[in-house]
Amino acid sequence: MKQNILITNDDGINAKGLRALIEVASEFGKVTIVAPEMGMSGMSHAITMTNPLFLRRIKIADSVEVYACQGTPVDCVKIAVDSIMEEAPTLILSGINHGSNSNVSVLYSGTMGAATEGATYNVPSIGFSLTSHLANADFTAARYYVKEILEKVLQHNCNKSLCLNVNIPSIPSEEIKGIKLCRQANGFWQEEFDKKLDPRGREYYWLVGKFINTEPEAADTDEWALRNGYVSIVPVQVDMTDYKTLKKAETWF
Amino acid sequence: MKQNILITNDDGINAKGLRALIEVASEFGKVTIVAPEMGMSGMSHAITMTNPLFLRRIKIADSVEVYACQGTPVDCVKIAVDSIMEEAPTLILSGINHGSNSNVSVLYSGTMGAATEGATYNVPSIGFSLTSHLANADFTAARYYVKEILEKVLQHNCNKSLCLNVNIPSIPSEEIKGIKLCRQANGFWQEEFDKKLDPRGREYYWLVGKFINTEPEAADTDEWALRNGYVSIVPVQVDMTDYKTLKKAETWF
């Protein structure tokens, strides 16, 4: 079946990773691109509630429609599905992000915010990330794995609420050992705020964090897979209910 | 045990709901408030990566320290835990939000972004919301239930990664039937974008959504509880792995 694909990202409309994703996705059907005007890294599942959303139509070709939106990645998905696309997308793709979105980073990631938003609409959605922040990162291996993963997902007539967090190690293609299905690694981001004074004496801080992996040896986690040369895939759900605690806390209230 | 409590919100430092939460929390120990300068509704788990974070110390009393931060609710938690507080908080509270954060709204909510961030630091964290958006909403019943819930949670020596999403119906106290432990209701936000033209002819949109509950009869959901006069409590987890799909997709790749 020819797909009707919505593509977005969080690095903005001009990112190299977005172009790489468009190239691969175009082989699977019609693509519509609605991406943020500017970088929206770390915007998570944020939506724009107090400002208007400006939308700029950039180019219309036979099979590619491109829009830039002055909003977040989730805004892009919403405006695409509810206002721009004539027919509901059959697939929503986000990325390819410049930088990893493994472990709890899934919570902060604009790339994955867009993908989980897609899943709330009951459209299979995949976020792709390469573990390199460089603007000119090499997406050769990433393109190969995006294609392979899309083929396999479509082949299995996946569940409509399917949402995948795919991370691709930034190493030469021939060193990648394959694809590994994983769970999200436990841990947290520890910040070392860099405190400064502005010319008027006001204190300000830059947020500079590092991820503390609390289970570095767990071979079923995405962090382990990436460190060991695998492409990691974590299926993600939008139901955040903690069912274990739900059961345990039954007698508390 | 006297608690060392961090309080934040997403409606900003001047919100009435924040003052209500400070009043109740102060009965349980020392409180430190680090809240956004401005309204941050819908900011989810967003962090500020490309701008500096300005921090303004507003007032120091014996037992209350108050800071306003030009960042998101998650920024507030990070800067409080990693830079401001001398000792790690024993409890992180967020709210009381003006407006419901039940169902999938947990994904978009800045109030719950701060609470889940607390849980990544292994500090028991609770987000409180009242189902009224009014700036001068009546927090009388909310204050009562915040206190009751805090007492019961502390009494049970809860797990350090405990995270609760508490929603309180905006109805007179005497009409509230009690507290109900729930799961997050399934559904999605459907947007009806309000399209306009600015004076220079540029298209812009206002995001106006309504929640479509796909299981209105499910009595174990937060939506049902709120509609039927209960305070809803949903335990929330930061592990977004979809373990069912993880198992099912084992043979796909």
- The CA distance from A31 to A7, in Å, is 7
The alpha carbon of residue B221 and the mean position of all alpha carbons in its chain are separated, in whole angstroms, by 18
Say yes or no for a CB contact (<8 Å) between A241 and B184: yes
Q: Is the pLDDT of residue B190 over 90?
A: no
Task: Kindly report, residue by residue over A63-87, the tens digit of the pLDDT.
Answer: 689 999 999 999 999 999 999 999 9
Nearest-CA distance from A75 to chain B in Å?
A: 8
Residue in B117, B192, B241 nearest the CB of A184: B241
d(CA B228, CA B175): 10
Q: Does B252 sit within 8 Å of A235, measured CB to CB? A: no
Contact flag B203-A55 (C-beta cutoff 8 Å) = yes
State which residue of chain A sits closest to B121, comparing Cα positions: A188
* Chain B residues whose beta carbon lies within 8 Å of the beta carbon of residue A177: none
Q: Provide the pLDDT for residue B60.
A: 66
Q: Could you tell me how far CA A154 lies from the centroid of its own chain?
A: 19
d(CA B146, CA B166): 9
The predicted structure's pLDDT at residue A145: 98
Q: What strand order describes the sheet that includes B53-60?
A: A194-197, A203-206, B53-60, B64-69, B29-36, B3-8, B91-98, B125-130, B163-168, B230-235, B178-181
Beta strand B163-168 with B91-98: parallel, antiparallel or unpaired?
Answer: unpaired
The stretch A104-113 carries a mean pLDDT of 97
β-strands B91-98, B3-8 pairing: parallel
**Among B51, B29, A192, which Cα is nearest to B7's?**
B29
> Which of A241, A250, A109 lies closest to B163, judged by CA?
A241
- Measured CA to CA, the distance from residue B253 to residue B36 in angstroms comes to 44
pLDDT in the model for residue A89: 97
User: How far away is chain B from the Cα of A214, in angstroms, using its nearest Cα?
Assistant: 11
- Which residue does chain A place closest to B190, by CA atoms? A82
Instruction: Select from B16, B45, B160 the least CA-distant residue to B112.
Output: B45
CA-CA-CA-CA torsion sign (A200, A203, A204, A209): positive
Question: CA-CA distance, A234 to B110, in Å (whole number)?
Answer: 25
User: Is B44 close to A45, i.e. CB distance below 8 A?
Assistant: yes
The average confidence (pLDDT) of chain B is: 94
The predicted structure's pLDDT at residue B62: 67
Q: What is the pLDDT of residues B198-249, one digit of tens each?
A: 998 888 999 888 899 999 999 999 999 999 999 999 999 999 999 999 999 9
Following DSSP, what letter does each residue of B161-216 receive, concatenated?
T-EEEEEE-SS-GGG--EEEE-BPPPEEEEE--EEEE-TTS-EEEE--EEEEES-T
Query: Which residues in chain A are contacts of B204 at CB distance < 8 A?
Result: 52-55
Read off the pLDDT of residues A181-192 as tens digits, 9 standing for 90 and up: 999 999 989 888
B168 — pLDDT class (breaks 50, 70, 90): very high
Inter-chain Cβ pairs, chain A and chain B, closer than 8 A:
228
Cβ-Cβ contacts under 8 Å, B186 against chain A: 239
Percent of all residues in chain B with a pLDDT value above 70, rounded to a whole number? 98
- The answer to whether the CB atoms of A82 and B192 lie below 8 A apart is yes
Nearest CB among A106, A120, A245 relative to B162 is that of: A245
Contacts of A116 in chain B (CB under 8 A): 107, 240
Q: Please report residues of A whose CB lies closer than 8 A to that of B247.
A: none
Alpha carbon of B63: minimum distance to chain A alpha carbons (Å): 23
Residues of B in contact with A205 (CB under 8 A): 52-53, 55, 79, 83
| Nearest CA distance, B233 vs chain A (angstrom) | 9
pTM of the model as a whole: 0.95
Compute the nearest-CA separation of A190 from chain B (Å): 8
pLDDT on residue B159: 80
For position A215, what pLDDT does the model report?
A: 94
Q: Mean of the pLDDT values across residues A205-214? A: 90
Name the band, by pLDDT with cuts 50, 70 and 90, for residue A195.
confident
Distance (Å) from the C-alpha of residue B45 to the closest C-alpha of chain A? 5
Q: Which of A114-123, B79-88, B149-158, B163-172 has the lowest mean pLDDT?
A: B149-158
Are the CB atoms for A103 and A223 separated by under 8 Å? Answer: yes
**B249 contacts A181? CB cut-off 8 A:** yes
CB contact under 8 A, B55 and A203: yes
Question: In Å, how far is A44's CA from the nearest CA of chain B?
Answer: 5
Give me the count of residues in chain A: 253
| Segment among A13-22, A148-157, A222-231, B154-163 with least mean pLDDT | B154-163
pLDDT in tens, B42-99: 999 999 988 899 999 997 666 689 999 999 999 999 999 999 999 999 999 999 999 9
Give the per-residue pLDDT at A61.
Answer: 67
Q: Is the model's pLDDT at A203 over the cut of 90?
A: no
**Which chain A residues are Cβ-neighbours of B45 within 8 angstroms?**
44-45, 107-108
Indicate whether A232 pLDDT > 80. yes
> Is B245 in Cβ contact with A107 (below 8 Å)?
no
- Give me the residue from B46, B206, B207 closest to A44, CB to CB: B46
> Which residues in chain B touch residue A167, judged by CB atoms under 8 angstroms apart?
none
Q: From the CA atom positions of chain A, what is the Rg in Å? A: 19
Q: Which residue has the tokens 């990566």?
A: B49
Contacts of B240 in chain A (CB under 8 A): 106-107, 116, 184, 234, 236-237, 240
Q: Are A94 and A117 in contact (CB under 8 A)?
A: no
**Mean pLDDT of the region A127-153:** 97
